[in-house]
Structure 1
Amino acid sequence: MKNLLFSAVFLISGTLLAQDNPKEVKQETEVTTVKTNHGDKTSAKSVKVVTKETSDIKLDKNNHDRVKSDTKVEKEVYVDNDDNTGYQFSTKETYYISDGGSYIFSPHNQGFGINHNQDNATSVESAKSWVSSNDEYYIVEGEAHSGIGRFNANGDFMVEYYNKDTQKVEVKIYKKN
């Protein structure tokens, strides 16, 4: 009886866990090493960039073809600029889309910067954020708007700010890419 009960619990819990949305994860690692000759000594400095793309796998209900879904891109940069054998974590960037533009969220010591990605080669800082006393909210200061921001359940970043032109509180949403 004990084995039967254990088997039933195992099958039910396995069925519940199998109901999660399947995700596709692509990860690419690129390492660049630069060697410098100092006359009597040669030093090597390495930069490792790990790019990870995550997206939900969604199927069309009618014909079961795959449907395009949002993709979240995270880029982690590691630097090895000393003589030890390991890399030191440098930064992590996450990409978002808002109003048809692409934005890069780059962390710093007290929050993150929001950079407008004008093309694949250049980006311009459009706002900075700092963690507030309530860890769920960020104080955002930018050229176009300043206000209070937070991440919603979907991973989108929402900034509430006062628009002087319309004299209303508005919300700008940076959708997770």
Structure 2
Amino acid sequence: MKYLAYIMAMFVFTTTWAQETPKEVKQETQVKTVKYDDGEATTEKKVKVVTRETADVKLDKKDKEKVNQQRVKSTKKVEKMLMVDDDNDAEFDLLTKTTHFVNDNGQYKFTPTNRGFDIAFDNDNNQFVEIGSAWTTQSGGNYIISGEVQNGIGYFNKNGDFVIEYYDETSNQIKTKIYTKGSL
């Protein structure tokens, strides 16, 4: 009976482990040394920028039975961490961390604030333009959205996508805008 329990536990563990979604990860690290003279001495500091892109590996459902399957584009999560080593220890200290997402609809970024987060889109010039803010409500899980284009209610759906429902005056209808997860 004891061996049967071990076999069942091993079966459940390996089955659960095999179900993990494969991810593509690309990481780039740049370290620069900055020297400056403050009038008394020359000081050296190191600045480290780590850029990490992650995306789910998705395959075309039409190629399910084939050996060589085509990949389907998925949303990329891009995290950029800026660190500095300006003290006597060997560790870098984190200054800032930004996250943005890239999908077929362009790039967007959620920046945390003390009341929720700001939403920004890339204006095709690699500069993010803020389009709205999301404030956390007391009911939990819902956000009040205020912006130039969309004013409404936002929430995260079961897939982890951020959904905004807003009233469109030109069409006189309730519309939905979905910011695809990409590992929010």
Q: TM-score range by the shorter chain?
A: 0.7 to 0.9
Q: 1:68 to 1:149 in 2, by over 3 A?
A: same
Letter in 2 for 1:170: K
Whichever residue aligns with residue 84 of structure 2, its letter is D
CA distance in 2, matches of 1:112, 1:130: 7
1:62 aligns with 2:68: no
Q: Return the alpha-carbon distance in structure 1 between the equivalents of residues 153 and 45 of structure 2.
A: 40
Q: Shift of residue 47 of structure 1? A: 4.1
Pairing 1:138–2:147 present: no
Measured in 2, the distance between the counterparts of 1:73 and 1:174 equals 12
Q: Percent identity?
A: 40
Per-residue deviation at 1:45?
4.8
Task: Give the aligned residue type for 2:37.
Answer: N
| Residue 148, structure 1, aligned to residue 153, structure 2 | yes
What is the alpha-carbon distance in structure 1 between the residues aligned to residue 154 and residue 178 of structure 2?
A: 9
CA-based RMSD of the aligned residues comes to 2.6
Scaled by the length of structure 1, the TM-score of the pair is 0.80
CA deviation string 1:8-27 (max 9, x = no partner): 33123322331232222222
Give 2:21's aligned residue.
21
- Gap runs ≥5 in structure 1: none
Count, aligned residues: 176
Greater CA deviation, 19-28 or 160-169? 19-28
State the AA in 2 paired with 1:138. Answer: Y
Q: CA deviation at 1:172?
A: 1.1
Counterpart AA for 1:92 = T
Q: Distance in 1 between matches of 2:85 and 2:170?
A: 49
Question: How far does residue 144 in structure 1 lie from its aligned partner after superposition?
Answer: 0.8
In 2, Cα distance between equivalents of 1:134 and 1:81: 42
Instruction: Indicate whether 1:105 and 2:118 are aligned.
Output: no
Report the AA paired with residue 104 of structure 1: K
TM-score where L is the length of structure 2: 0.78
**In the alignment, what sits opposite 1:93?**
99
Secondary structure of 1:119's counterpart equals coil
Structure 2: gaps spanning 5 or more residues: none
Q: Summarize deviations over 1:14-55 as a string: whole Å, max 9, x none.
A: 223312322222222233443321111334454433322222
Alpha-carbon distance between aligned partners in 2 of 1:114 and 1:45, rounded to the nearest angstrom: 33
Q: Which residue of 2 aligns with 1:125?
A: 130
Aligned residue for 1:24, secondary structure, equals strand
Q: Would you say 1:77 and 2:81 are equivalent positions?
A: yes
